[in-house]
């Protein structure tokens, strides 16, 4: 008895050229199925995160600051309005990093899923891009929800405030791609958690002009903001949401910086994934 009714054989049914062209989409599809297993948790995080931050820090700390500095005391606006675009970018970055780093560590090490993908016509490039696209989709979702919560809090003053969604996504994509490359590069995941999270991600969050203007930091600490996608996205976000003053040159610098990190991160991810799979 034959197990398979009408075996045609891979030579007939598999088209390697099709996979070469659309492999990244196939990986994205698989990653999305994974992500959707936690969809309720993702929705809960995407809503609870802005609500909790905006209430506790924005309103709590904000009312204290506004009492002392006046309701236009920070960069000409209330503290909540000043803070919100930074938190939007932070949330986008956080979800991008989560969705890039964990699948990468898992795929190379924990369940070695990437090796099973690489045993098909898929290459390291497809896998790296698939992980990135899935992360990007989650980042878009997070940023859009965050933006609506900001709208509810009444911190979006400018008519072009909706564009801040895109600058936040840009920061998330850039940081996510960079961290994906790093997670693929570091073969010992403990290094990632103990060093990268504590000494890179955390300081960037605290020193990126998130809670106060970067210019109020001593000059020798301001460089941390300059290398941080978060600061660049926050500056763009402030300009878009409440019209914070910014020169055209600086707009270009922020835009070019974020996109350069994105391109470098993606190229590095693709190379690192391909090299590690081929060892």
Name the residues that contact another protein, by CB under 8 A: 1-5, 7-11, 13-16, 18-20, 22-23, 26-27, 29-30, 33-34, 37, 111-113, 115-123, 277-279
**Shortest distance in whole angstroms from residue 169 CB to another protein:** 25
**Shortest distance in whole angstroms from residue 263 CB to another protein:** 24
Compare residues 103 and 172 and give the one whose CB is closer to another protein.
103
Total Cβ atoms within 10 A of residue 30: 16
Q: 259 is written with which tokens?
A: 């996109």
Compare residues 121 and 243 and give the one whose CB is closer to another protein.
121
Dihedral angle, C-alpha 258, 262, 265, 268, nearest 10 °: -130
Compare residues 30 and 250 and give the one whose CB is closer to another protein.
30
Compare residues 78 and 104 and give the one whose CB is closer to another protein.
104
**Shortest distance in whole angstroms from residue 198 CB to another protein:** 28
**Shortest distance in whole angstroms from residue 101 CB to another protein:** 16
118 Cβ contact partners less than 8 Å away, ≥ 6 residues apart:
124, 127, 277
DSSP secondary structure letter of residue 227: T
Compare residues 15 and 157 and give the one whose CB is closer to another protein.
15
Nearest to 180 by CA among 125, 243, 231: 125
Report the distance separating Cα 112 and Cα 104, nearest Å: 10
Compare residues 112 and 198 and give the one whose CB is closer to another protein.
112
Distance, CA of 59 to chain centre? 25
Distance, CA of 278 to chain centre? 27
Helices then strands, counting H and E runs in the chain, come out as 13, 0
3-state secondary structure of 24: helix
**Shortest distance in whole angstroms from residue 124 CB to another protein:** 10
**Shortest distance in whole angstroms from residue 170 CB to another protein:** 29
184 Cβ contact partners less than 8 Å away, ≥ 6 residues apart:
104, 108, 128, 269, 272, 273, 276
Angle value at C-alpha 241, between 236 and 244, nearest 5 degrees: 65
C-alpha to C-alpha distances, 184 to 45, 65, 264, nearest whole angstrom? 26, 42, 14
Compare residues 26 and 146 and give the one whose CB is closer to another protein.
26
**Shortest distance in whole angstroms from residue 121 CB to another protein:** 4
């Amino acid at each position: 008895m034959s197990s398979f009714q009408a075996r045609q054989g891979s030579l007939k049914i598999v088209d390697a050229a099709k996979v070469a062209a659309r492999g990244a989409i196939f990986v994205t599809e698989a990653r999305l199925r994974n992500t959707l297993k936690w969809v309720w948790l993702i929705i809960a995080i995407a809503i609870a995160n802005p609500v909790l931050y905006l209430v506790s820090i924005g309103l709590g700390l904000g009312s204290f600051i506004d009492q002392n500095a006046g309701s236009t005391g920070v960069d000409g606006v209330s503290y909540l309005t000043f803070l919100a675009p930074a938190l939007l970018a932070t949330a986008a970055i956080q979800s991008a990093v989560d969705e890039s780093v964990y699948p990468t560590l898992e795929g190379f090490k924990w369940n070695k899923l990437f090796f099973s993908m690489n045993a098909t016509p898929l290459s390291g490039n497809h896998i790296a891009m698939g992980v990135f696209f899935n992360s990007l989709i989650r980042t878009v979702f997070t940023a859009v929800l965050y933006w609506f919560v900001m709208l509810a809090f009444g911190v979006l003053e400018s008519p072009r405030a909706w564009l801040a969604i895109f600058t936040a996504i840009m920061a998330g994509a850039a940081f996510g791609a960079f961290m994906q490359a790093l997670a693929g590069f570091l073969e010992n995941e403990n290094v990632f958690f103990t060093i990268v999270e504590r000494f890179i991600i955390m300081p960037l969050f605290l020193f990126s002009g998130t809670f106060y203007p970067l210019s109020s930091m001593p000059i020798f600490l301001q460089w941390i903001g300059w290398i941080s996608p978060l600061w660049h996205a926050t500056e763009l976000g402030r300009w878009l949401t409440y019209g914070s003053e910014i020169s055209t040159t600086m707009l270009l610098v922020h835009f070019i910086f974020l996109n350069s990190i994105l391109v470098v991160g993606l190229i590095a991810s693709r190379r690192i994934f391909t090299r590690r799979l081929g060892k």
